[in-house]
Amino acid sequence: MEAVETASRSTSRSLRRVGILYDERMCRHHTPDDEPHPENPNRIRAIWNKLQSAGISQRCEVLSAKEAEDKYILSVHGKSHVDLIRNISSQQYNSRRNRIASKLNSIYLNEGSSEAAYLAAGSVIEVAKRVAKGELDSAFAIVRPPGHHAEHDEAMGFCLFNNVAIATNFLLNEKELGINKILIVDWDVHHGNGTQKTFWKDPRVLFFSVHRHEFGSFYPSNDDGDYTMIGEGPGAGYNINVPWENGRCGDADYLAVWDHILIPVAKQFNPDMILISAGFDAAVGDPLGGCCVTPYGYAMLLRKLMDFARGKIVLALEGGYNLASISNSALACMEVLLDEKIVTGSTEAYPFESTWRVIQVVRQELKAFWSVLADEVPTKLISQKAPIPVKKILISSCDSEAEDVEELLQEVIRPLSTLRVDEDCRESASVSWRSDLSNIDIWYATFGSNMWKPRFLFYIEGGQVDGMQKLCSGSMDKRPPKEILWKIFPHRLFFGRESTRTWGLGGVAFLHPESKNEDIVHMCLYRITLEQFNDVLHQENISSYDMSSPLFDLTSLDCVKEKGSINLEAVKKGWYHNVVYLGMERDIPILTMTCDLSDIENFKSGKVPLHAPSEDYANTLVKGLVEGGQLSEEEAVSYIKEAATKPL
Ligand code: X5A
Ligand code: ZN
């Protein structure tokens, strides 16, 4: 029976047996109120749909997820962590879940999180086992939540269990599988801190991670991902970090690292199996990554690894937040696993000078352990470099680029013309209103934490500033404000509401929408486009509104000039849904966003509490005011204090 069935299928199936695992149950992990979040269920749905419509899944063995057994998870995580993740979705945690999540770094939890976490870990075990046994040649596990940031006792960076680390230990511990040496390649744009720590002293596992680092300022924002972190004791030399100094790295940079570090070392290490922490957030168009690896680039990176471990390769999804980019990248990888398209060619662009510098320091650091790294990289090669990125590095943890995705794609030759990022990675529905409103400038007048410029820039560029719990998606148009101006207005500043996700306990700033002569408020005005203003409004008033049409358009602008303020129905639950007109400055309207008059009544009656700001929040306001040059630190502190204590 079995033989007959296999034979009849083999016409459509690939000669190579490739496994693919997808399971809808992993979509049940999502934000509690379905607030928008980059790590959302649509990521794996998008990949799965793409692979189905491209006819890929039909040529693969399709597997469904299995929950990991605790004993396997415990090979990586502590008991208390496993207990927490197992129980977090149970009823008795209903009231505590959000509080627990808010204490963790970049984590949300809901009633589907436990099951998804167990399934993600179990799925990577499942495909890895089948590849190890030879039932499959290679496989891709389309899992979430991702895993590589999760540490022994800590969920972080959208990760609950470290899926790849758990599967790696599983393979090593099942002795009869005959897998004694494993190469983990982590090409997610973030450092795989959890995986690194798991195998820090373990020479059976060669952990290789290439990631944005920017001298410790890119997430997870510490020195763990530095090139000096090479492992310890018997594991010394078996941990290799390639830390980018800047964003915008693309195919040429990654390929140079492959050719001059990873591939030679892989040859010498000679792994029995390769696991790839396959995040696609270094892909062109990713909102968090700010890099520009094309699907063709990913195909090349994978192709070069297929020559090792007799092609026994498992890919496990990690990050990747642009649905079109991750789908196309995953498709390109699947075509490599199926070995049906020949991937050749070269990229036209050169690596950055910084890339060659990083390659050299990594080789220097590790040459005592890997003789293949001993030689100097030929000067002739190093002289082939792209200009240094022009954009200066702020405190930024995100560097999403000003250029358009299409423009970036022009930089590389794409031999596989079908494998390109669709135009609609700029989000399909929203089109014409954006170009219309992108030509209109307004002054966005800020009175809260947005007065501090680095903070405000995250609403434009995306990412999150240190100490901020919430991640900003940024604006679609990432051009910085054209001008900044400070001004005083006759309005009342006050603080209300009990706590926020971003700042914890304490009130946040509001502006009384009506003016009064005895009041003054210091405001920082940013000249941005009306399109950007819409994206800021959206981020300040988190809701499920999809931005297929603008929140505030030209008609609203006319209306607000006439009436003084306008309430935005689409985001009426947001705290800053009232747009207030503050006059003109050099023929450009000044707008701000705050609560509406009915909220003022509720604050006055005590129905909604007035509340002094937290220290962190107040400090951010002071920082903004002082950097803006309007007030001395002392004056700023007392200005905030007065606003926080004077009755409404
Ligand atoms: C798996 C992954 C990113 C976390 C970023 C938090 N995590 N700001 O890509
Ligand atoms: Zn990532």
Q: Which of 29, 44, 106 to mutate to test the pocket of ligand 1 (most atoms within 8 A of CB)?
A: 106
Q: Are the CB atoms for 180 and 212 separated by under 8 Å?
A: no
Q: Between 441 and 422, where is the model more confident?
A: 441
Q: For atom 6 of ligand 1, which residue has the closest CA?
A: 157
Q: Reply yes or no on whether the pLDDT at 101 is more than 50.
A: yes
SS3 content of the chain, % helix, strand, coil (to 5): 40, 20, 45
* Alpha helices, DSSP H, located in 383-452: 405-409, 432-437
Neighbour tally for 11: CB within 10 Å: 6
- State the angle between helix axes of 113-133 and 163-173 in degrees (0 to 180), rounded to the nearest 10: 40
Q: Which of 213, 219, 398, 472 to mutate to test the pocket of ligand 1 (most atoms within 8 A of CB)?
A: 219
d(CA 184, CA 201): 15
498 alpha carbon to ligand 1 midpoint, in Å? Answer: 28
Q: Within its chain, how far is the Cα of 310 from the centroid?
A: 33
d(CA 140, CA 33): 30
Mean pLDDT value of segment 40-46: 97
The confidence band for 76, taking pLDDT boundaries of 50, 70 and 90, is: very high
Run of H or E residues at 186: strand 182-186
Q: For atom 7 of ligand 1, which residue has the closest CA?
A: 157
pLDDT at 464: 61
Residues facing residue 62 across a β-bridge: 20
252 alpha carbon to ligand 1 midpoint, in Å? Answer: 24
Average pLDDT, the chain: 88
Residue 77 bears catalytic tag: no
pLDDT at 395: 24
pLDDT at 470: 55
pLDDT at 387: 60
d(CA 145, CA 65): 13
Neighbour tally for 32: CB within 10 Å: 13
Ligand 1 pocket, 81 CB below 6 A?
Answer: no
Q: Reply yes or no on whether the pLDDT at 160 is more than 90.
A: yes
* Digit-coded pLDDT (tens) for 548-596: 789 999 999 999 999 999 999 888 889 999 999 999 999 999 999 999 9
d(CA 96, CA 98): 6
Ligand 1 pocket, 365 CB below 6 A?
Answer: no
Q: Reply yes or no on whether the pLDDT at 337 is more than 70.
A: yes
pLDDT at 386: 76
Mean pLDDT value of segment 471-476: 74
Ligand 1 pocket, 279 CB below 6 A?
Answer: yes
The one-letter amino acid at 18: V
Tokens 């720590």 belong to 197
Which atom of ligand 1 lies nearest, measured to the CA of 319?
A: 9
pLDDT at 162: 99
Beta strands of 530-604 (E only): which ranges? 565-567, 578-585, 588-594
pLDDT at 236: 98
d(CA 158, CA 149): 8
Pairing, β 578-585 against β 499-500: unpaired
Q: Between 248 and 101, where is the model more confident?
A: 101
Q: Reply yes or no on whether the pLDDT at 499 is more than 60.
A: yes
The confidence band for 520, taking pLDDT boundaries of 50, 70 and 90, is: very high
Q: Reply yes or no on whether the pLDDT at 268 is more than 80.
A: yes
Lowest mean pLDDT among 75-79, 197-201, 338-342, 520-524: 338-342
The confidence band for 448, taking pLDDT boundaries of 50, 70 and 90, is: very high
What does pTM read for this prediction? 0.64
Mean pLDDT value of segment 58-68: 97
d(CA 196, CA 193): 5
Mean pLDDT value of segment 95-104: 95
594 alpha carbon to ligand 1 midpoint, in Å? Answer: 30
Q: Are the CB atoms for 64 and 23 separated by under 8 Å?
A: yes
From the list 369, 202, 180, the residue with the least C-alpha distance to 273 is 180
Q: Reply yes or no on whether the pLDDT at 39 is more than 90.
A: yes
d(CA 557, CA 567): 12
Lowest mean pLDDT among 342-346, 368-372, 603-607: 342-346
Q: Which of 29, 81, 149, 577 is catalytic?
A: 149
SS3 label, residue 480:
coil
Q: Tokens in use for 219?
A: 């997430």
Ligand 1 pocket, 190 CB below 6 A?
Answer: yes
* Digit-coded pLDDT (tens) for 372-408: 999 999 898 898 887 644 332 222 222 233 233 333 3
Lowest mean pLDDT among 258-272, 398-412, 473-487: 398-412
From the list 444, 513, 512, the residue with the least C-alpha distance to 484 is 444
Q: Which of 39, 40, 187, 190 to mutate to test the pocket of ligand 1 (most atoms within 8 A of CB)?
A: 190
Ligand 1 pocket, 471 CB below 6 A?
Answer: yes
399 alpha carbon to ligand 1 midpoint, in Å? Answer: 14
d(CA 119, CA 25): 8
Ligand 1 pocket, 281 CB below 6 A?
Answer: yes
The confidence band for 344, taking pLDDT boundaries of 50, 70 and 90, is: low
Ligand 1 pocket, 448 CB below 6 A?
Answer: no
Ligand 1 pocket, 318 CB below 6 A?
Answer: yes
pLDDT at 368: 97
Mean pLDDT value of segment 409-436: 41
The confidence band for 501, taking pLDDT boundaries of 50, 70 and 90, is: confident
Q: How far apart are the two ends of the chain, measured CA to CA in Å?
A: 81
pLDDT at 8: 38
Tokens 């030209």 belong to 554
Which atom of ligand 1 lies nearest, measured to the CA of 148?
A: 1
d(CA 121, CA 510): 44
pLDDT at 466: 54
161 alpha carbon to ligand 2 midpoint, in Å? Answer: 15
pLDDT at 563: 94
Q: Within its chain, how far is the Cα of 625 from the centroid?
A: 30
Q: Tokens in use for 386?
A: 């792209």
Ligand 1 pocket, 347 CB below 6 A?
Answer: no
d(CA 87, CA 84): 5
Q: Tokens in use for 419?
A: 């494998």
The confidence band for 128, taking pLDDT boundaries of 50, 70 and 90, is: very high
